[in-house]
């Protein structure tokens, strides 16, 4: 049993040594990989920009919606008077 534990320790130490030893880094990806990275970066920038604009303009859109609903209540229950008035102007 003691001998088995010793072999396990040796095997783990050897595996750890092999895992931590640096090897050759063949890292050339070519122009296609660079373009893919650039496209991904631009897509993420666009997605972040659009989400930031939506979040920052939400209060303005909420106030506009609230004002439209408030104006619509004075014209009648369903706003039919406003629709009749716009039809008369034509």
Mean pLDDT of the chain: 83
Task: Indicate whether 54 pLDDT > 70.
Answer: yes
Residue 64 lies in a domain: yes
* pLDDT band, residue 59 (cuts 50/70/90): very high
* Total domain count, the chain: 1
Q: What is the mean pLDDT of residues 46-54?
A: 97
Interior angle at CA 58, CA 48 and CA 79, nearest 5: 140
Residue 63 lies in a domain: yes
Residue 15 lies in a domain: no
> Residue 21: which region, alpha, beta or left (left: phi > 0; alpha: psi -120 to 50)?
beta
CA separation, residue 61 to residues 3, 29, 55, 75, 86 (Å): 74, 46, 10, 22, 25
Q: What is the pLDDT of residues 1-40, one digit of tens each?
A: 677 788 889 999 998 998 888 887 777 777 888 889 999 9
Separation CA 58–CA 64 (nearest Å): 10
Range(s) of the domain holding residue 62: 44-76
Residue 8 lies in a domain: no
Q: Where is average pLDDT lowest: 33-37, 66-70, 82-86?
A: 82-86
């Amino acid at each position: 049993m003691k001998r088995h534990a010793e072999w396990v320790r040796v095997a783990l130490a050897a595996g750890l040594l092999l895992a931590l030893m640096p090897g050759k880094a063949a890292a050339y990806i070519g122009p296609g990989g660079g373009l893919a990275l650039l496209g991904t970066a631009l897509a993420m920038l666009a997605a972040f920009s659009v989400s930031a604009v939506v979040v920052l303009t939400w209060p303005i859109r909420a106030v506009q919606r609230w004002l439209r609903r408030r104006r619509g209540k004075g014209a009648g229950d369903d706003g039919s008077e406003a629709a009749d008035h716009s039809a008369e102007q034509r």
